[in-house]
Chains A and B, each alone.
Chain A
Amino acid sequence: MNEKRIRVLIAKAGLDGHDRGAKVIAQALRDAGMEVIYTGLRQTPEQIAETAIQEDVQVVGLSSLSGAHMQLFPPVAQLLREHGAVDVLVIGGGIIPEEDIPYLKGVGIAEIFTAGTSTGDIIKYIQERL
């Protein structure tokens, strides 16, 4: 493993209050040796991008279970690019219909993990990508 620990921001985008998944994943990533920052609820895309840049993270994990992912995920990736944070790996999860995934990948969300994904798969994905 890298000497520097992987830094991850887990963020709840929008008004959705379902944070069980976000917190479970944050804990699993932490147990896997990563440094994890969790934003808490009700974050706008602007706030998430700002925190990601300030905290100098390598990964941003977005969560929304309210169906707002199409409006809230793309701006995060875009804002990061605009601020030169092009290397940040942006991934997402939640209740996300399959037909939305190609669009999200096209606008810079590297991967989408839907219900039933094991935390082990997410950890492996991050470690392989960085």
Chain B
Amino acid sequence: MFDQEKVQALRSKKEEWDRKTTAQLARSPERKQEFKTDSDVPVQRLYTPVDIADLSYERELGLPGEYPFTRGVQPTMYRGRLWTMRQYAGFGTAEETNGRFKYLLEQGQTGLSVAFDLPTQIGYDSDHPLARGEVGKVGVAIDSLQDIELLFDGIPLKKVSTSMTINSPAAVILAMYLVLAEKQGVVLAELNGTIQNDILKEYVARGTYIFPPLPSMRLITDTFAYCAEHVPNWNTISISGYHIREAGSTAVQEIAFTLADGIAYVDAAIKAGLDVDNFAPRLSFFFNAHLNFFEEVAKFRAARRIWAKIMSERFKAKDPRSLMLRFHTQTAGCSLTAQQPDVNIMRVAYQALSAVLGGTQSLHTNSRDEALALPSEQSVLIALRTQQVIGYEIGVTDTVDPLGGSYYIESLTNKIEEDVWDYINKIDELGGAVRAIEKGFMQREIQRSAYAYQRQIESGERVVIGVNKFQMETERPKDLLKVNPAVAERQVEKLRNLLESRNQRMVSEALQNLRNTAQTNENLMPAIIRAVSVYATLGEICGILREVFGEYQQQVLL
């Protein structure tokens, strides 16, 4: 990128400057002996062209919208359209969450993002014994198509894009959404949205697994195949590093493990007979925006470049859309503090800015009160307004990849890429992501980082305002959101009424058909769609699949 002679001259000058500066340190020392990013990458005092002297602009950066997409997946990025502002929401019953959705849409949110409660995510109906205490808590309770109808009541599916954080039962929830769309008269080809559908990170970091890896991968590739044919604009998976990071990984581990999972999904789909360019354009990703600002920006850029190389070199994808890493970002929940919660507004703003400077396609900003409870409506509004300030007021959206070319950012992008490849190669040696997870490799790496992070906080090496520095007694906010305890009873009653009013014979036949299909290698989506459309419940459908597929047994690592 630079004239090598000039770089050489600069190198000597810089060495001289380093000597001079180091000599002065005895008199005016720096704040720390060593400066490092969250991924333990040493940070130099200064970055110059010397640090990126070997960088080939054409090969490693390119132009926005072109391989390797380091600078962004679209040519105009936010000059064309801002990212989708998408606040994750859901609690209580479908009726209550429907109210929150409508509020968010009225406030200028541009896409929906559904949080499901844990029984739904683990394939249990609200009346299951294991659902005790969990119904409607971390998300909305969905037992059947009826709840999906209530959830989107008055919201035209043709006009919104909907992201759904659902993994093990993703095929079932997607089926409900598709049936509802048809009832609303929407052509499936016009539907936009995402299912998370990423089982591997559930085993590693998030915990809402149901089935063992093999049948889980089959459900995922079945949705790939079905959507490629019938719902072409649907993002069939959101390969997620978010939860890996929340579980305590570093930025490098977040990207490495997520992309390794991505490789496993592409492998599985190709093995299932799909053509890579048939499904790869619909793969999407989900990352965390954490505190170390520049490392986060570099991380997003590195992720795009690595994925483009993987898809092009390893999988020989031809369609440019197959090579583009499109991603959603959420700010780091684990960085929020219960102490002085209003300070979280600032943390979220900087994290959100890093995601925007990193070229995210959509964004969720956390609310200030989330270390204490589910966010209140007032807190969610501030979080959404934070995105709007970034998007409309501060000018960072006016040019593409504004930090591109910064000596520090480019050098960090290179370093992250290098470290990520080391991990990916290691995982390849272990036999791929599925095997690495079965061996507990990713889990142990994450655990080690999480513990190191905590120790840094406790030793004071890592400053957390309000926790280990600048502490003060503040009153806890009063207006926290509380899920009405009667939600579970109401939900169970609704379920009972449904079970009495539906056509039981049609349900039994559909469930038998599902069982038969599960025992073959046929695509499961048509059988699941048939079952949900006659109001078979999520618990019934997952129950049949549990019987056929078995259940995953977590290995407890400590």
Contacts and interface: CB of A to CB of B under 8 A. Distances in A.
B134 interface: yes
Interface string A1-38: 00000000000001111111001101110100000101
Given A20-B247, A36-B558, A67 B374 contact: yes
Interface string B306-332: 000000000000000000000000000
B207 interface: yes
Interface stretch (A81-89, A102-110, A115-123): A115-123
Contacts of A41: 207, 554
A40 B476 contact: no
B450 A20 contact: yes
Contacts of B119: 15
Contact of A116 (B134, B339, B482, B558): B339
Main secondary structure of the interface of B (DSSP, over half): loop
Interface size class of A (residues with CB under 8 A): 35 or more
A72 B130 CA distance: 11
Nearest to B371: A115
Nearest to A36: B558
B190 to A, nearest CB: 34
Interface size class of B (residues with CB under 8 A): 35 or more
A40 B207 CA distance: 10
Contacts of A42: 130, 207, 554
Contacts, number: 108
Nearest to B373: A97
Contacts of B247: 19-20
B160 interface: no
Nearest to A26: B558
B137 interface: yes
Nearest to B457: A118
Nearest to A64: B133
Contacts of B118: 14-17, 66
Find the residue from A70, A98, A114 having the highest chain B CB count within 10 A: A98
B556 A66 contact: no
Given A15-B119, A15-B130, A24 B454 contact: yes
B451 interface: yes
B287 to A, nearest CB: 17
B133 A70 contact: yes
A97 B334 CA distance: 17
A19 B372 CA distance: 17
Interface string A49-62: 00000000000000
Contacts of B476: 97-98
B207 A19 contact: yes
Contact of A67 (B138, B207, B467): B138
Contacts of A38: 556, 558
Contacts of A97: 372-373, 476, 480, 482
A39 interface: yes
B362 interface: no
B556 to A, nearest CB: 4
B507 to A, nearest CB: 26
A116 B554 contact: no
B248 interface: yes
A66 B558 contact: no
B109 to A, nearest CB: 24
Contacts of A130: none
Contact of B467 (A16, A69, A116): A116
B132 A14 contact: yes
A66 B467 contact: no
A100 B372 CA distance: 12
B554 A40 contact: yes
Find the residue from B119, B133, B483 having the highest chain A CB count within 10 A: B133
B246 A116 contact: no
Contact of B454 (A14, A28, A36, A98): A28
A67 B480 CA distance: 13
Contacts of A69: 133
Contacts of B202: 17
B122 interface: yes
Given A17-B207, A42-B130, A66-B137, A95 B450 contact: no
A72 B337 contact: no
Contact of A95 (B134, B373, B458): B373
Contacts of A78: none
A127 interface: no
Contacts of B558: 23, 26-27, 30, 36, 38
A43 B115 CA distance: 22
B155 to A, nearest CB: 26
25 contacts: A15-B131, A15-B134, A16-B138, A17-B206, A17-B208, A19-B207, A23-B450, A23-B451, A24-B248, A27-B451, A36-B558, A38-B556, A42-B130, A66-B137, A67-B133, A67-B138, A67-B374, A68-B133, A68-B137, A71-B133, A95-B371, A95-B373, A97-B480, A115-B338, A118-B468
Interface of A: 14-20, 23-24, 26-28, 30, 36, 38-42, 44, 66-72, 95, 97-98, 114-116, 118-120
Given A16-B138, A44-B129, A67-B483, 5 more contacts: A15-B130, A17-B118, A36-B558, A67-B134, A119-B458
Smallest CB-CB A-B distances: 5 pairs: A17-B207, A71-B133, A68-B133, A40-B556, A15-B118
